[in-house]
Amino acid sequence: MSQTLYGFYVSFSGESATPIKNVYALSPKGETVSKAVLDPAKAPYQELRGMSFGPDGNLYVAQAYKKASVILKFSGTPSKGSSTLKYIGEFVTPSASAGLSHPYQPVFSANGDLFVSSQDTNVVTAFYGPKSPSSGKAMPNSKFLAKRYAGGTFNPGTFAPAHNAKPEAPTFTSIATDQGGLTFKTPPNSADKSGTGGTHSVRGLAFDKAGNLYVADEGNDRVAVFDTDGKLVGVITGSKNHFLSAPVALCFDGSKTLYIGSPGNKSLFTYDVSGMKKKDFEAQVFVSDAKELEKLSGEAVDLDGAIYTGQREIKKQSNDQKQSDGKKIYKWSSKGTPSAFAAPFGDSPEQIVAVYAPIVG
């Protein structure tokens, strides 16, 4: 990875009154460099979510739209004089595994394989990476599932299984939460304080350097930690005095610290992975009950240790008038001090990824 931060790519909900259906490029100072990072020739894109650079240097983007769930592949750098990334093709579709449904977060393992969280099936599915002869195909189910639930029914490539899922999801074997099953929950609207909508399901993913996968189990207010065989080795539920509430975003600072976005209580937590050796899964509060973290969406960390958090649209009723706020990105110092970074947008930011390659050719 280059040691130069060129800026950030930001995806948007695509579901607002003024939907943004492409990815924006921002400078390191938060200025908008481009409003059409993804090749316009293949537009329109619908409900873009997570983004990840692959081992081949290309950019992989999740399109969450129910009728067109797909992981799209684009060139990693723009051509000369351009800020647009050339469309290469569909890397993964539901034809490889029905587990890919309403994808949220794609991440690559150290081996170069792709892991994707999907909200409707509420699982994490593994696919062979771009450098594999089986590129784009579903990998075998996790070793843990193959051994412990040999007669079970799972979508191809299931790594982190579901305890429950959206009612119309394909038939599957329910796995107990203490065995790693992920929770799908639709709370009453009046009680939904998370700011993430009415449905809670699997969200962000992140790998540590030992190959353990951290999974934001939003519906169960925890981050589930799986080893390389897919066995649940622990869960992060918060600190001694503060609990995680509907966690969504996960990202590492590049070494040993995991940042956990907890919009249900407008907080950020950190977890030091070195604690795993002692089977210690206790997080620490980084920022608690901050208005800037209301309806938190994506996260990114730069090489200087600054943290960036997206904020979805905040709708409020005041004096019989509907008001709208949010749709911003904040920057946090390593000490937890916030500042405005980029705002306002016409749509809700979903995911943020730091870019260490030129964003203009």
Note the pLDDT of residue 274: 86
Note the pLDDT of residue 137: 98
Average pLDDT, the chain: 93
195 band by pLDDT with thresholds 50, 70 and 90: very low
Average pLDDT value for residue range 279-298? 95
Q: What is the DSSP letter of 141?
A: P
Note the pLDDT of residue 281: 95
What percent of the chain is modeled with pLDDT above 90?
83
Note the pLDDT of residue 324: 66
Note the pLDDT of residue 199: 83
Q: Which residues, 6+ apart, have CB-to-CB distance to 86 below 8 Å? A: 39, 74, 75, 78, 79
Over residues 292-344, the pLDDT tens digits come to 999 999 999 998 899 999 999 987 766 665 556 889 999 999 899 999 999 88
pLDDT of residue 158 exceeding 70? yes
225 band by pLDDT with thresholds 50, 70 and 90: very high
1 band by pLDDT with thresholds 50, 70 and 90: low
CA 134: distance to chain centroid? 25
| Class of the CATH-defined domain 7-355 | mainly beta
277 band by pLDDT with thresholds 50, 70 and 90: confident
Quote the radius of gyration of the chain (alpha carbons, Å): 19
Instruction: Name the token pair of 253.
Output: 């600072």
Instruction: Name the token pair of 190.
Output: 């009046």
Cα→Cα distances 261→26, 225, 229, Å: 21, 16, 26
- Positive or negative torsion for Cα 237, 194, 269, 296: positive
Secondary structure E strands in 218-289: 222-226, 232-236, 250-252, 257-262, 267-272, 284-287
Cβ–Cβ < 8 Å for 154, 166: no
Residue 100, helix vs strand vs coil: coil
Note the pLDDT of residue 179: 97
Average pLDDT value for residue range 83-105? 97
CA angle 266, 163, 288 (to 5 degrees): 10
Domain ranges of the chain: 7-355
pLDDT of residue 258 exceeding 90? yes
Note the pLDDT of residue 83: 95
Average pLDDT value for residue range 121-128? 98
Q: Which residues, 6+ apart, have CB-to-CB distance to 53 below 8 Å? A: 59, 60, 76, 108, 353, 357
Beta bridge partners of 131: none
